């Protein structure tokens, strides 16, 4: 299934539909079920950011890599040549709420350092070779990675 998802026309046709289904399915099931995970093996979480222009909460179903006590988010946007909306949101307001995982909570977001990027990118491509295909299609845009670290109160 992951190989099929790497084909550009399949991604263009299917990604928006699956994304919309995941958004509703995760909300309805208390973040326990998504369509993406059984189809591709990729973990999906809901991430709430603050809109870059509106300041309103925006919730997105995203694949996320666990990274120690936090997460890494890959801004591949399915290989499109533009950044995903959540990328702009995190650049403007570098905090996010993670839903539906044992590590749910509030996180600070920052771009991965060069060293972190190499390691996280290798992990992402190992998890799903589709990321490498997305990076080729997105060129010359570099696919950013955000690192989310937990925010502790107090």
Sequence spans of domains, the chain: 2-150
Q: Each residue of 67-89: b (16+ CB within 10 Å) or e?
A: beebbbbbbbbbbbeebbebbbb
- Which residue from 45, 151, 148 is spatially nearest to 106, judged by alpha carbons? 151
Does residue 5 carry a pLDDT above 70? no
For 69-126, the pLDDT digits (tens) are: 999 999 988 788 899 999 999 999 999 999 876 778 999 999 999 999 999 999 999 9
143 conformational bin, left if phi > 0, alpha if psi -120 to 50, beta if neither: beta
The overall pTM is greater than 0.95: no
Q: How many helices (H) and strands (E) does the chain have?
A: 6, 7
Q: Provide the H-helix boundaries in 29-92.
A: 36-40, 85-92
Separation of alpha carbons 23 and 20, rounded Å: 5
Does residue 135 carry a pLDDT above 60? yes
For 20-77, the pLDDT digits (tens) are: 777 777 778 777 767 666 666 677 888 999 999 999 999 988 888 989 999 999 998 8
Residue with tokens 């539909």: 17
CATH of the domain spanning 2-150: 2.30.110.10
Antiparallel, parallel or unpaired: β 44-50 and 57-63: antiparallel
């Amino acid at each position: 299934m992951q190989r099929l998802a790497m084909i550009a026309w399949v991604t263009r046709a299917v990604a928006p539909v699956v994304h919309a289904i995941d958004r509703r399915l995760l909300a309805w099931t208390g973040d326990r079920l998504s369509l993406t995970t059984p189809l591709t093996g990729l973990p999906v979480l809901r991430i709430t950011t603050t809109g870059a222009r509106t300041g309103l909460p925006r919730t997105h179903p995203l694949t996320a890599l666990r990274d120690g006590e936090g997460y890494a988010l890959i801004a591949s946007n399915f290989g499109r040549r533009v950044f995903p909306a959540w990328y702009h949101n995190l650049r403007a307001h570098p905090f996010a709420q993670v839903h539906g995982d044992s590590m749910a909570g509030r996180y600070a977001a920052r771009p991965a350092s060069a060293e972190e990027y190499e390691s996280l990118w290798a992990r992402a491509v190992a998890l799903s070779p589709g990321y490498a295909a997305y990076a080729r299609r997105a060129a010359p845009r570099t696919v950013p990675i955000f690192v989310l670290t937990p925010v502790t109160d107090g």
